[in-house]
Structure formats: structure tokens, C-alpha cells
Amino acid sequence: MTVGIGFDVHCLVEDRPLILGGISLPFEKGLLGHSDADVLTHAIMDALLGAAGLGDIGAHFPDTDPAYRDADSIALLEAVGQLLKEKHYELVHIDATICAERPKLAPHLPAMRERLATALACPVAQVHLKATTTEGLGFVGREEGLAALAVCELRDVGCRPSLL
């Protein structure tokens, strides 16, 4: 078993869609970034890559590469899932927390879980999401940006002895 941690922050700005966990949310601001700035999906990808010892998303999908301009982070997550499979890692569990003062995220968490689990081709029960405010404190509290934290556990199935 290996574990990984991911953390990400993006600015909230006007005239951008707010995409979290691959779901477009109704809100007056969105996240700024080279890609679609899906802060939750980015934190999850970093946790997965970390657990597999494969670096971080900056190394795999550099924000200096025009190919990733406005990239759909869910497509990048699918690529990470594929890479893990090639390296003989199997997902055990993801747990993530989104830090946002607004909008209220709880009603949208089931759809995000579904979307993320579909991208990783895993049961939805293996993707757990939570949301919290920061009680008005810091950049999240001032609604200047959103943050996300993720941890994951992977199972290395490559060196499992065959029982057959």
C-alpha cells in the first residue's frame, strides 16, 4: 500500500466558469488557471501521482504547454488513472476536502464523486468528498480563491505473487 497527498489553490475571478470535480457549478465567479482550474481534480491528481511516486501534475501536464490551455481536468485525471494502471497500481481510496466560503458545495458533492469515479473507472464508494469553509478567515474566507486537499491510498498489484 502507498499513500499520497495533494494540495492546490486557484484564484476566484469574474468571467470564468466554476468547475469542481468536473462539474460546472452556478456561481458568479470561477477559478483562474491555464487549464479549467479544477482545484479539486488537481489536488486528487497530485495525491495519486505522489502515491505512485510519479511526480506531480506540473511535470506531466506543464502549464507552459499550450496543449493544456483550458484543458478539461477530468481528461487529465483519466490519463493519470491510465498511467497508474500501466504501473500496476490499483486505487483503494481517495478522500478530499474542498475549502470554500461560497457557494454551498454539499448539494453538488454526489455529482462530483460520480464524475471523478467514472474518470478513474472505480466504484463511487472509493471517492469520498467533503467541503468546509474557513470561517471567514484567510483568502478562502475573503472569497479570493478556493483550496483543495486530497489524500489517496493505492495498492501495488504489480508485485503480487500469482495464486493461480
Residues that bind Mg ion (CB under 5 A): 8, 42
Q: Minimum distance between the CB of residue 33 and Mg ion, rounded to whole angstroms?
A: 6
**32 or 111: whose CB is closer to Mg ion?**
32
Q: Give the angle subtended at the CA of 39 by the CAs of 123 and 89, to the nearest 5°.
A: 40
Collapse the DSSP code of 98 into the 3-class scheme (helix H, G, I; strand E, B; otherwise coil) and give the result.
Answer: strand
Interatomic CA distance for residues 67 and 71, integer angstroms = 8
- In b/e form, how buried is each residue of 138-159, taking b as 16+ CB within 10 angstroms? ebbeeeebbbbbbbbbbeeeee
Q: Minimum distance between the CB of residue 67 and Mg ion, rounded to whole angstroms?
A: 16
**83 or 92: whose CB is closer to Mg ion?**
83
Strand partners, 8: 148
**34 or 85: whose CB is closer to Mg ion?**
34
Q: Minimum distance between the CB of residue 160 and Mg ion, rounded to whole angstroms?
A: 33
Q: Minimum distance between the CB of residue 10 and Mg ion, rounded to whole angstroms?
A: 6
Residue nearest to Mg ion (CB): 42
